[in-house]
Amino acid sequence: MKSVKEGPIYRQVEQFLRDQIEAGLVAPGDKLPSVSQLCEQFGGIHHLTVRQAIKNLALEGLVRPIQGRGLFVAEQKIRNSCIALVVPSVDDAMASRMIKGIQTVFKEARVNSLIMDSECNPKKEAENIRQIQDLPLQGAIIFPIPLPHIIREIIKLHMDGLPFVLVDRFFPGIELPSVTVDNYRGVYELTAHLIRRGHKRFAWVGRTSISTTGERYEGFRDALNDHQIACQQRYVKKLESLTVNVSAMEAACAAVKEILGEKTRPDAMVFANDSLALMGMEEIKRKGVRIPEDIAVAGFDDIERAGLAVPSLTTVRQPVEAMGGEAARYLLEQLSGRKTPPRRIVLPVELAVRNSG
């Protein structure tokens, strides 16, 4: 029986195989012990434990399972690879958390990353995506600005065969690798929560043309319909045709003013994201309207400022770091040579009920 150090059994198996490979005791292309042999070697452990270790090493690019033939030492293509991380802005709190999740996985797999900051500039983002093909990069993780010419650049990247994964965005009708969260269910449950609190007149503020916020609006609308509450169009402000965050904030501020100017005000406002919701709360308070006594307010994202606001913001918490980590693992899966159709991975979200609604 193989003597092992302390730690989860699958990690012990993983480390044993890694040590064998890194010490040069087995070379690329060599066949490794079978699952049953490893189970016996480690004292009769369960085959699922061994398979977990193999899965982790395969994601790192150290081993390559071949169906019907066994487990082999892989050619070292993934380790020391360099991956582009294309983000709208490194100053964005969500992008920073996503990068942290990505780099945690890459560090373990010994993969390097190159951060390409688009500085919220669509032209620069398009240029960054085009540059990926010209640089010595093995793949990319892209947090895209959702504009038509950006989408065209990403589709071209896909057609050219470079492995990549989209995060926080997907393009309806186009099958591309992506990792998002359950935007629809999150806002559906958020709206249902506000309905249970007794609210009956609802406003929506935010874009609907982006894939993620479009799903959020659908969740908002369907929750109202399922509870027999009318979605009054005079309270729906979709803020379309916007290209930068400043314009979105200005348009949202104007939208909130319009809603508050109605003879009969809504008693709840749902915003497409927390940044808009926090801006909306300030405008509501400037008008002397109480939150949540007169109008409840809710957002989506659970950024740090949401919990610090007065009143603290009720929102939907999305697992941003986990989304980055999942995108990194998905890309490593592509780089390991595993041929699978592009798929969309959807992570669950949870309500963060606070004082605003």
d(Cα 171, Cα 175) in Å, to the nearest integer? 8
Query: How big is the CA angle at 232 (ends 230 and 238), to the nearest 5 degrees?
Result: 130
| 31/34 Cα distance (integer angstroms) | 9
**One-letter amino acid for residue 262 of the chain:** E
φ/ψ bin of 84: left (φ > 0), alpha (ψ from -120 to 50), beta (otherwise): beta
Residues 6 or more apart in contact with residue 75 via CB below 8 angstroms = 28, 29
* Residues ≥6 apart with Cβ < 8 Å to 111: 78, 79, 80, 81, 82, 83, 332
In angstroms, the first-to-last Cα distance of the chain is 60
Give CA–CA dist 345/300, Å, rounded.
19
357 residues of the chain, pLDDT tens digit each:
444 455 688 888 888 888 888 777 887 778 888 888 888 888 889 888 888 888 888 877 778 787 778 888 876 566 668 999 999 998 888 899 999 999 999 988 888 999 999 998 989 999 999 999 888 888 999 999 878 888 899 999 998 888 999 999 998 888 999 999 999 999 999 999 999 999 999 999 998 988 999 999 999 999 999 999 999 999 999 987 554 444 678 888 999 999 999 999 999 999 999 999 999 999 999 999 999 999 999 999 999 999 999 999 999 999 999 999 999 999 988 887 666 789 999 999 999 999 999
pLDDT of residue 146: 79
Residue 280 and residue 307 in contact, taking contact as beta carbons nearer than 8 Å: no
Whether the Cβ atoms of residue 54 and residue 97 lie closer than 8 Å to each other: no
pLDDT at 337: 66
**pTM exceeds 0.85 for this model:** no
Q: Where are the alpha helices (DSSP H) in 4-46?
A: 9-22, 35-41
Which residues lie across from 316 on neighbouring strands? 351
Joined together, the tokens standing for residue 160 give: 């050219």
Neighbouring CB atoms inside 10 A of 45's CB total: 18
SS3 171: coil
Q: Which residue segments constitute the domains of the chain, with CATH numbers given?
A: 9-73 (1.10.10.10), 82-181+320-347 (3.40.50.2300), 183-317 (3.40.50.2300)
